[in-house]
Amino acid sequence: MKDRRRILSVISKNKSLTPFQKKVYKVIFGIPTGEVRSYKWVACKLGRASAARAVGNALNKNPYAPLVPCHRIIKSDGTIGGYAKGVKAKRKILKWEGIEL
């Protein structure tokens, strides 16, 4: 719990992040290991249902990966979507967490 608060505090205080990026990272930080969510789900959690592409752009710049698990975000149709380190790496991490896409 202490580590969780510390990480959230670091995200909040990072002046190089936009307010939108901070919100995205805080939302995805709460996704449990072994579970995935869609870009649209994240956008809806932020109250911006049409911002799925913006969520993807924010995740592409995630400086806290894998602690802030951007690899757990997939497309609404259940396909893998993109990943800054490549789709192959994303599949490998997800498989390690017990998720097959």
Query: Exposed, middle or buried, 97 (CB in 10 Å: 0-12/13-18/19+)?
Result: middle
Given the residues 36, 68, 70, 73, the one annotated as active site: 70
State the number of CA atoms in the 13 A half-sphere of 56 facing the CB. 15
Task: Tell me if residue 44 is catalytic.
Answer: no
Query: Comparing C-alpha atoms, which of 35, 25, 13 is closest to residue 58?
Result: 25
Please give the positions annotated as active site: 70
